[in-house]
Structure 1
């Protein structure tokens, strides 16, 4: 029987491949490596993959406190999109318009790169390049969507405005006033991608140790509960879990996301919903809902929790008491055709959010310390771009990637402890209240 509190992706994976439940052995005492990568999510594994591509002779050691893909990488929404947590306009303000266009182009390319590697390396992860449709369900949302579409072309992004009838060719949702479509998004099975990528880098000579908790990252060294790794280069690729590491605790705020999945829906329901397999969608609320149709015909829906802040990491995997009502209401509200269908999976996890929303990648040559993260809600394509960039930084390649504006960026640090938690929680509730106010204004105006 499927666990209702483990992600759909892991249940699918373990049903098909029960051996994935057995972790690889932990680190066995002190060792050395050319590159030590802390974190076996997508950032860490893509870094290992592209390091092997650049220099097959490198000794690469990847460490994870659980198993590869146990964190956000294996429990995401299934999106692989060109989105970043920072807008192109903000990138231009900070780094200039040309730099902003370069990073936007690199993110669009990253979606294609993930699909290309999945095909070339035979990574069975259901990669489906179907684009995504955004829907506006009140006047304020429609105005925001039109503003986004007007700006998109300036940064090279393709965002086509749609009327209600045009939206219906992609997705049939209730109360739609308009929408937009972008091709720069794919669907994939995230846990399968992580595990397939882990097997690939190990088959090519990388070492992957699981069940190995890192307690400190230092210049040229990683200290774990099972021994110390000495390495010329040390890469921190743990995203939200940076908040647990000394020296990195204030780099990002761990923010909770929640997702649910329905039972497989029959064709009659899908005829009324209209979404093709691998299709993705979102509303454009401040506290947005996003979802996808899986390859086994389930509907996945989720987003950030209203409060948002993660207070204790050991509560995240089970998260039995999380308030799922908002997402179940959103499911029924968007898709009346899904009323009465069973929700079989509910799961949650943290993403790492920088204080300015700006992701970053970097490598300090003097200390040998590298890092990447802060992608926000959708980090699958960003992790690929970060892995390629880190590989170029480590090997000294003077590529276009190492000159992108997120390289070397340092976000303002979050406040400590409960102050950070209060700030994140307040932002989440402010977004929810803004959505409620917009809905109330719409009702009072009679939907005009």
Structure 2
């Protein structure tokens, strides 16, 4: 039920329409799924078959064999963001580290970054346990900049990392050139990191859940949730209802349509393009064999990563607030975003100026007003938890959030102080009424600033 990029990377069929139900990576075998009909019961209901929901179901089934778990999705596993992302796996949680230090203090900012590093390592361990060919390529992630604004942002982050003792080395122009042949004057090196096929990982989690006895229901969008009269919540779907002892709603920005009081998790449309394979020398020059990914340090950071077939995927640079936009305006916004992203990609290396762009796609992420996810019990709904709002850093964090909620449901919460995103609601934003245009104007302005500075 997560909102996500629609369309496909290189080598697959292309779509430029609204987000669709088919994953953009190669289709993978999935457990059988039928719509939820009639009255169904479960010990735990998980709504949303993306990485967060499936991680929760997987960890529940692993730690409590015999628990009756049902996973329900509006489409099916990997149909949302988890199956259609660009597969960047790197450490980052919430706002940039310098902003985290200012807002939360050095100790909490350090814990936030360390939690994101653990999340990356946990995904790498999960890939090894599931033993699935998901295009995993361990490597390093370079956050770099060419513009004065980006270099200033890097300097602030580098100072903050030194202040709180994080191992995030500064790279000179020569240090970047030794890794990737792109003329960036400075950067920060984040590790551990990797790139992978997010759909393959999501589908592998679904198969692992099914092997542990988890039941799946597809084509069943959640309509509403009600506190149960006796025990647990009542979940209403188009053709039936589910009574559960506990429920986890990993539905991202769809929380608003369900009426969950979790604050504002804003749907934002993001964009990506993919190319035909590069020549072997160009692929190596861009860091192909070492698995590097490069992310620009400006807001709405454009980035690129390389595919195993020697293609390149680029994303970022533009976001759109799609709510309230008619279809013609949304199509025009997509065309402008793709055109800019193609131009940015072609500016990075001489061969990229000639390579054919084979696919373009867009999709939706959930963003909060303070850049922090929401992972916690839902106010006023006993035994109901919500996971959402990871922004553009959802691959590792979603798996971590699912594991966290599974532990909490089993009465074994994580030791230590809660992290800032372990909360029940995000700040509210003006997504309705006349103030919505101001929100859209703010997002559009940040995008223009980003595109000018790149």
Quick one: distance in 1 between partners of 2:272 and 2:208? 28
**Which residue pairs with 1:442 in the alignment?**
none
The Cα of 1:367 is off from its aligned counterpart by 0.9
Query: Could you tell me whether the CA contact under 8 Å between 2:91 and 2:191 is conserved in 1?
Result: no
Query: Could you tell me whether the CA contact under 8 Å between 2:377 and 2:424 is conserved in 1?
Result: no
Q: Runs ≥4 in structure 1, deviation > 6 angstroms?
A: 312-316, 318-321
1:107 to 93, 110, 116: 116
The Cα of 1:425 is off from its aligned counterpart by 2.3
1:3 to 3, 13, 19: 13
2:334 to 322, 341, 345: 322
The Cα of 1:88 is off from its aligned counterpart by 4.0
The Cα of 1:438 is off from its aligned counterpart by 4.6
Within the alignment, does 1:86 sit opposite 2:89 as a pair? Answer: no
Residues 2-81 of structure 1: pairs in structure 2 closer than 5 A: 2-5=12-15, 10-14=23-27, 17=28, 24-81=33-90
The alignment partner of 2:26 has SS state of helix
Greater mean alpha carbon deviation, residues 253-262 or residues 145-154: 145-154
Q: Deviations over 1:198-233 (max 9, x none)?
A: 111011011111111110122311110021101111
> Does the C-alpha gap of structure 1 residues 349 and 86 become closer, same or farther in structure 2, counting only changes over 3 Å?
same
**Which residue pairs with 2:361 in the alignment?**
347
**Which residue pairs with 1:429 in the alignment?**
444
The Cα of 1:129 is off from its aligned counterpart by 1.9
RMSD: 2.8
Within the alignment, does 1:153 sit opposite 2:188 as a pair? Answer: no
The Cα of 1:185 is off from its aligned counterpart by 2.1
Q: What stretches of structure 1 of length at least 5 have no aligned partner?
A: 440-448
**Which residue pairs with 2:8 in the alignment?**
none
> Does the C-alpha gap of structure 1 residues 47 and 315 become closer, same or farther in structure 2, counting only changes over 3 Å?
farther
Q: Deviations over 1:327-375 (max 9, x none)?
A: 0011111222211211111111111011221212112596111011111
**Which residue pairs with 2:404 in the alignment?**
389
**Which residue pairs with 1:377 in the alignment?**
392
The Cα of 1:90 is off from its aligned counterpart by 4.7
**Which residue pairs with 2:247 in the alignment?**
234
The Cα of 1:51 is off from its aligned counterpart by 0.9
- Aligned residues between the structures: 431
Quick one: distance in 1 between partners of 2:453 and 2:361? 28
The alignment partner of 2:189 has SS state of strand
Quick one: distance in 2 between partners of 1:275 and 1:46? 29
Quick one: distance in 2 between partners of 1:237 and 1:290? 27
Query: Could you tell me whether the CA contact under 8 Å between 1:281 and 1:290 is conserved in 2?
Result: yes
**Which residue pairs with 2:4 in the alignment?**
none
Within the alignment, does 1:285 sit opposite 2:285 as a pair? Answer: no
Using the size of structure 1 for normalisation, the TM-score is 0.88
Q: What stretches of structure 2 of length at least 5 have no aligned partner?
A: 1-10, 228-232
The Cα of 1:277 is off from its aligned counterpart by 5.3
The Cα of 1:417 is off from its aligned counterpart by 2.5
**Which residue pairs with 1:309 in the alignment?**
321
1:210 to 218, 221, 230: 218
Quick one: distance in 2 between partners of 1:378 and 1:315? 28
Within the alignment, does 1:224 sit opposite 2:237 as a pair? Answer: yes
Quick one: distance in 1 between partners of 2:340 and 2:322? 18
> Does the C-alpha gap of structure 1 residues 418 and 80 become closer, same or farther in structure 2, counting only changes over 3 Å?
farther
Query: Could you tell me whether the CA contact under 8 Å between 1:171 and 1:273 is conserved in 2?
Result: yes
**Which residue pairs with 2:421 in the alignment?**
406
